[in-house]
Amino acid sequence: MHPITAPFPASRPRRLRRTPGMRALAAENTLSAGDLIWPVFVRDGENVEEPVASMPGVNRLSVDRVAAAAREAADLGIPAICLFPYTGAQNRTADCAEAWNPGNLSNRATRAIKAAVPDMLVMTDVALDPYSDSGHDGFVRDGVIVNDETVEALVKQALAQAEAGVDIIGPSDMMDGRIGAIRAALEAAGHQDVVLLSYAAKFASAFYGPFRDAVGASGALKGDKRTYQIDPANSDEAMRMIARDLAEGADAIMVKPGLPYLDICRRAKETFAAPTYAYQVSGEYAMIAAAAQNGWIDGERAMTESLLAFKRAGCDGILTYFAPAMARLLRGSNAR
């Protein structure tokens, strides 16, 4: 880039900032409901809407309420919902068998959404942590999260999700070789149109704390996830993970968390020119929502600014708990 600026007063950059119309004309990036994926927590029961204490404004929904949420999303122009099941300690086992149960919570919610709103895209998470008594994304053997055996289970989980009708599968487990294995299994089973959105650049982050509360994993988790998620110190490693996952058949890639990793978003987009998404995770949501609740920041403006940042960084879309609030705000105005 070679920006050319005349010396003052020939150049007065404030000319282009003078009115809302002028600013709209000069805007380099925009945000729309079509950029958003809404992560939703699913729980047992009927007609249940249970607040998540650490995420003000976010609820765990029973399957019937998830279908209603899908209708709401469709009305707001949000193209996709991402499902995360809440599992209590009593349903967590060492063999994680619930993960590939065709009738598990996630698969039931998928079918309910597809029945209620067929055009709503359903995304699901592939990882064992909602079903594991250890809270880890893989099997634990002698204190080690084992890779290859976990990948076999992830393949079964992904196939059950595809059978239930999901459009987008998001492996979030960070095991080695899972994208290739899941892609091959999907092809073999006739699910050639299922999109793989790989959580390729997923960092071992403190910002997942409220999520682990929301899905019931906080109490279960023993230790941390640093032997499989990426060290926050690393950027080249994230590029290698993205390259690998694209080479194994990922259609799109994700950077997670979001705001603390905008450099990774920008670098990923420039390096690979692939469809690139960011996950504005639970801790990021909680910080903004809690500060707004206390009157310390303007919640709507902070939400909008944080989401626009992802577009500026090169992302094609954002997974965010703010999705319905942002879409509602966008519908009411042309403001970004």
Ligand X SMILES: NCc1[nH]cc(CCC(=O)O)c1CC(=O)O
- What 8-state DSSP symbol labels residue 174? -
Taking the C-alpha atoms of residue 300 and residue 309, their distance in angstroms, rounded to an integer, is: 14
Q: Which of 114, 225, 256, 311 is an active site residue?
A: 256
- Interface residue with ligand X among 79, 156, 176, 212 (CB under 6 A) is 212
74 neighbors 120 (Cβ within 8 angstroms): yes
Q: List Cβ neighbours of 284 (8 Å cut-off, separation of 6 or more).
A: 207, 257, 258, 259, 260, 306
Tokens of 9: 């007063």
- Minimum Å gap between C-beta 181 and ligand X is 17
CA distance 192 to 249: 11
Q: Fill in the DSSP letter of residue 320.
A: E
Structural tokens at position 163: 């059978």
Binding of ligand X by 281 (CB under 6 A)? yes
Chain residue at closest Cβ approach to ligand X: 211
Is the CB of 98 or the CB of 129 nearer to ligand X?
A: 129
Say whether residue 288 binds ligand X (CB under 6 A).
Answer: no
Q: CB of residue 23 vs ligand X: minimum separation in angstroms?
A: 32
Residues β-bridged to residue 49 = 61
Is position 181 an interface residue for ligand X (rule: CB under 6 A)? no
Stretch of 46-54, 100-108, 204-212, 239-247 contacting ligand X, by CB under 6 A: 204-212
Active site annotation includes 114: no
For ligand X, the binding residue among 86, 131, 211, 277 (CB under 6 A) is 211
Which one of 35, 137, 167, 213 is in contact with ligand X (CB under 6 A)? 137
Phi/psi region, residue 166 (left: phi>0; alpha: psi -120 to 50; beta: rest), is beta
Q: By the 8 A CB rule, do 271 and 250 touch?
A: no
Quick one: which of 86, 100, 208, 310 contacts ligand X (CB under 6 A)? 208
Instruction: Please pick, from the candidates 61, 78, 111, 125, the single residue that binds ligand X as defined by CB under 6 A.
Output: 125
The candidate with the shortest Cα–Cα distance to 84, out of 280, 217, 255, 222, is 217
- 127 touches ligand X (CB under 6 A): yes
Nearer to ligand X, 304 or 320 (CB): 320
CB 230 within 8 A of CB 202: yes
The CB-of-276 to ligand X minimum distance in angstroms stands at 17
269 among known catalytic residues = no
Contact between 245 and ligand X (CB under 6 A)? Answer: no
Q: How many helices (H) and strands (E) in the chain?
A: 11, 12
**Where does this chain touch ligand X (CB under 6 A) — which range of 124-132, 146-154, 238-246, 305-313?**
124-132
Helix (H, G, I), strand (E, B) or coil at 200: strand
Interface with ligand X includes 172 (CB under 6 A)? yes
Q: Please report, as ranges, the residues that interact with ligand X according to CB under 6 A.
A: 125, 127, 129, 137, 172-173, 208, 211-212, 225, 281-282
The catalytic site residues sit at: 202, 256
